[in-house]
Amino acid sequence: MLFNAILASATAITFLMWLVDRLWLRKRRHAAGKEHPNAILDFGIGLFPVILFVFLVRSFVAEPFRIPSGSMIPTLHIGDFILVSKFSYGLRCPVGDCRLLGSGMPQRGDVVVFRFPGSGPDRGEDFIKRVIGLPGDHVTYVDKVLSVNGTPVTLADATAVATAHGEYQRVEETLDGVRHAILVNPDVAPQDFEYTVPPGSYFVMGDNRDNSYDSRYWGTVPDKDLKGRAFLIWMNWNAEKFRPDFGRIGEIIH
């Protein structure tokens, strides 16, 4: 959010420099026989189209994000750099909560980036989770089986996975036709719950089901806090091996 505000301010400042030079200063220079503006003005004018392009792309086309935690493993790994579609859920104001155009809404199974809606130090930070429940849905989670509106989500192909934190089960989950993998830790006791999603909000969970700080703990995501739908891994940096993981680059996010 802060970076977007800074980028918007930089775009406005360099635009004003370009506009003032175009409407007023350029004529004065020509009358005085000067070809170029001073160094600061020249730098700002030259920077304006670059900043404008970046601002428009980040605000209305696609924005890059880095995955900082393991809450979405195995779908997304720590060190993944992803692209988020900014128009999937309607064009929104670059700064603020307003919607400019369109009425697209998340669907069950979408991986979304949003501003953290809860209180505390995470307020306003970018989070990424999977949409489980839409407005009005009744979501239950009993014995680590997810159900939406009374229908259990299909689970298949459970396999054991050894991680640095112990043995996990990797399970294929199908949510409204979206097939994706989740991780379940059999050593963690089930956290059963049921919840009805309020209007204008979405219930989200991480794919690393027993290691995710999500709607089970802080509630739902209001529509105004959505930033977009994650759709592509464009880079991965493996910090342990200190090199990119080229096998993950270009993966489509499901």
- CATH classification of 64-248 is 2.10.109.10, yes or no? yes
Confidence of residue 161 (pLDDT cuts 50, 70, 90): confident
Judge whether 147 counts as a catalytic residue.
no
Both tokens of 95, joined, read 């700064």
Judge whether 34 counts as a catalytic residue.
no
Confidence of residue 116 (pLDDT cuts 50, 70, 90): very high
Among 59, 88, 129, 215, which one carries the catalytic annotation? 129
Among 71, 85, 88, 212, which one carries the catalytic annotation? 71
Which 3 state secondary structure label does DSSP give 246?
helix
Cis status, amide bond into 74, omega within 30 of 0: yes
Confidence of residue 2 (pLDDT cuts 50, 70, 90): low
Model confidence at 163: pLDDT above 80: no
Q: What is the pLDDT of residues 185-211, one digit of tens each?
A: 988 888 899 999 999 999 999 999 999
Q: What is the pLDDT of residues 60-70, one digit of tens each?
A: 899 999 998 99
Q: Cα 254 vs. chain centroid, distance in angstroms?
A: 14
> Residue 168 pairs with which residues in a beta bridge?
161
Average pLDDT of the residues in 79-106: 85
Q: Percentage of the chain surpassing pLDDT 90?
A: 59
